[in-house]
């Protein structure tokens, strides 16, 4: 069986790596800040790699699930990076699958550079939640050539419910940024709508009674409002720092495409402001409380003076 490497055992990566291990693949994992996921995987049979170079030297397929483009570049291009390890071992045919939400221009540049060393880079950013990652029910939005996709498909199937091939390398990251623009845009709209409503006397419960089950209802709405109504922080575990990063990448992409994307910039700026005030590690639905507090109101204690 192919030897699989995995770097980035966060909310999503830990579940993905666990499912690769369950499928019977030999797994090499790379530690970062949090020891618990790697200790759990090692206890189940994974081996811990000393550094990214060891992954490059030992593995056939390496999955990256890290914060963004700078972290991807460091793992691949660092002095003890994947490329250095592959070169030292004389490996040809290594496939790197970047499941991060990254910058398409960086992805395409890395792919072109890595091909000179016989290394193929695919992008396969994710759709879904940490719960779906644990259950092996994520969506992979894949950019790259068809033949490489078919070669890695059995491994992808260990942690996905759906694999979507959207185009050449970089297309997966482009589509993921568009997807996250929609979802983070919803988050920004829900946030502002709730505060406007609260100031006018409409409680979140009243708001929800109208939207839930209507054409404006959706999965993102449900997890966002699971926090708003039930105060369940684990309903939507995506940090405001990551939201800012993704909307920043999207706004930059729009600029590179000569698109005057005013809405994208406004959404980016709202998340940027939350991170700037020190709330970056809070989750996206908590933006609703942050914004409400800026306007001297609370979504958990709003009198309904406007009636139903």
Do 103 and 200 fall into the same domain?
A: no
Q: What is the pTM of this model?
A: 0.91
Q: Residues with catalytic annotation?
A: 176
Do 107 and 204 fall into the same domain?
A: no
Considering the domain boundaries, does residue 230 fall inside one? yes
Considering the domain boundaries, does residue 162 fall inside one? yes
Q: List b or e across 55-85, with b for residues whose CB sees 16 or more CB atoms inside 10 angstroms.
A: bbbbbbbbbbbbbbbebbbebbeeeebbbbb
For residue 63, the model assigns a pLDDT of 98
Q: 135 versus 11: which is more confidently predicted?
A: 135
Q: What is the CATH number of the domain that holds 282?
A: 1.10.1040.10
For residue 34, the model assigns a pLDDT of 81
Do 159 and 28 fall into the same domain?
A: yes
pLDDT band at 305 (very low <50, low <70, confident <90, very high): very low
Chain position carrying tokens 């589509």: 175
Do 99 and 195 fall into the same domain?
A: no
Chain position carrying tokens 């790259």: 144
Residue 307 pLDDT more than 60? no
Cβ atoms within 10 A of the Cβ of 214, count?
A: 9
- Report percent pLDDT > 70 for the chain: 97
Could you tell me how many residues make up the chain? 308
Tell me the C-alpha distance between 213 and 229, whole Å. 16
Do 282 and 156 fall into the same domain?
A: no
Task: State CA 71 to chain mean position distance.
Answer: 13
Residue 303 pLDDT more than 60? no
Do 246 and 180 fall into the same domain?
A: yes
For residue 301, the model assigns a pLDDT of 62
Do 23 and 135 fall into the same domain?
A: yes
What's the DSSP call for residue 291?
Answer: H
For the chain, the average pLDDT equals 95
**Which of 34, 27, 25, 79 minimizes the C-alpha distance to 52?**
79
Start-to-end C-alpha separation, the chain: 62
Do 160 and 289 fall into the same domain?
A: no
What's the DSSP call for residue 235?
Answer: G
Tell me the C-alpha distance between 11 and 65, whole Å. 10
Q: What is the CATH number of the domain that holds 10?
A: 3.40.50.720
> 252 is in which domain, residue-wise?
174-294
Which of 128, 148, 168 is the last residue before a domain boundary? Answer: 168
**pLDDT tens sequence across 45-54:** 999 999 999 9
Q: Classify the phi-psi angles of 198: left when phi > 0, otherwise alpha if psi is within -120 to 50, otherwise beta.
A: alpha
Which of 140, 168, 196 is the last residue before a domain boundary? Answer: 168
Tell me the C-alpha distance between 261 and 182, whole Å. 13
Which of 147, 168, 189 is the last residue before a domain boundary? Answer: 168
- Report percent pLDDT > 90 for the chain: 93
**pLDDT tens sequence across 25-72:** 999 999 877 889 999 999 999 999 999 999 999 999 999 999 999 999
Considering the domain boundaries, does residue 24 fall inside one? yes
Tell me the C-alpha distance between 19 and 16, whole Å. 5
**pLDDT tens sequence across 231-270:** 999 999 999 999 999 999 999 999 999 999 999 999 999 9
Q: How far is CA 13 from CA 23, 30, 95, 98, 157, in A?
A: 15, 11, 18, 11, 15
Do 159 and 184 fall into the same domain?
A: no
Considering the domain boundaries, does residue 123 fall inside one? yes
**How many structural domains is the chain composed of?**
2
Q: How far is CA 88 from CA 76, 79, 106, in A?
A: 14, 12, 24
For residue 304, the model assigns a pLDDT of 44
pLDDT band at 91 (very low <50, low <70, confident <90, very high): confident
Chain position carrying tokens 């054409």: 215
Do 147 and 250 fall into the same domain?
A: no
Average pLDDT over residues 283-307: 82
Element holding 134 (H helix, E strand): helix 130-135
Do 154 and 94 fall into the same domain?
A: yes
Considering the domain boundaries, does residue 308 fall inside one? no
Do 194 and 209 fall into the same domain?
A: yes
Considering the domain boundaries, does residue 304 fall inside one? no
Average pLDDT over residues 222-235: 96
Considering the domain boundaries, does residue 238 fall inside one? yes
């Amino acid at each position: 069986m192919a030897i699989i490497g995995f770097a980035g055992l966060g909310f999503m990566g830990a579940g993905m790596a666990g499912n690769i291990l369950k499928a019977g693949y030999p797994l090499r994992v790379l530690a970062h800040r949090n020891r618990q996921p790697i200790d759990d995987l090692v206890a189940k049979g994974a081996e811990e790699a000393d550094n990214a170079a060891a992954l490059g030297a030992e593995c056939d397929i390496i999955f990256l699930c890290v914060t963004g483009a700078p972290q991807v570049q460091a793992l691949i291009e660092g002095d003890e990076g994947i490329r250095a390890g592959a070169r030292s071992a004389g490996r040809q045919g290594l496939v790197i699958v970047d499941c991060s939400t990254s910058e398409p221009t960086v992805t395409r540049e890395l792919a072109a550079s890595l091909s000179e060393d016989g290394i193929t880079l695919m992008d396969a950013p994710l759709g879904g939640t940490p719960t779906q990652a644990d259950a092996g029910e994520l969506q992979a939005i894949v950019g790259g050539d068809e033949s490489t996709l078919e070669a890695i498909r059995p491994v992808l199937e260990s942690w996905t419910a759906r694999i979507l091939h959207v185009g050449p390398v970089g297309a997966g990251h482009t589509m993921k940024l568009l997807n996250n623009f929609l979802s983070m845009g919803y988050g920004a709209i829900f946030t502002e709508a709730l505060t406007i409503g609260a100031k006018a006397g409409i409680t979140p419960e009243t708001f929800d009674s109208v939207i839930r089950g209507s054409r404006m209802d959706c999965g993102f709405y449900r997890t966002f409002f699971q926090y708003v109504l039930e105060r369940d922080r684990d309903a939507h575990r995506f940090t405001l720092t990551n939201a800012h990063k993704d909307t920043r990448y999207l706004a930059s992409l729009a600029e590179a495409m000569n698109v005057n994307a005013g809405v994208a910039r406004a959404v980016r700026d709202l998340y940027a402001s939350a991170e700037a005030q020190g709330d970056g590690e809070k989750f996206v639905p908590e933006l609703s409380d942050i914004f409400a507090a800026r306007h001297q109101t609370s979504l958990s204690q709003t009198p309904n003076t406007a009636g139903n």
